Amino acid sequence: MKEHMISSLFSSGFRNPNIDDIGKIRESNGTLLVPNTFLDPEYAYTFESGVSFKFF
């Protein structure tokens, strides 16, 4: 039986902009929506850690 446990997790994520976000011009209710050509990919990094103790 384990009485002590240490755990950790590291993860990363990546999201590329959709083609609609970069190059599609739309009209909605009389408003012209122009795409943002300066969008870059998004990166996310997370780290989690935990310690647990079991008594009796």
Contacts within 8 Å (CB) and 24+ apart, 2-6: 2/54, 3/53, 3/54, 4/51, 4/52, 4/53, 4/54, 5/51, 5/52, 6/49, 6/50, 6/51
Q: What pTM did the predictor assign?
A: 0.54
Of 28 and 49, the structure prediction assigns the larger pLDDT to 49
Per residue in 7-44, pLDDT tens? 999 999 999 988 877 888 888 888 888 888 888 899 99
Any idea where the domains of the chain sit in the sequence?
Answer: 4-53
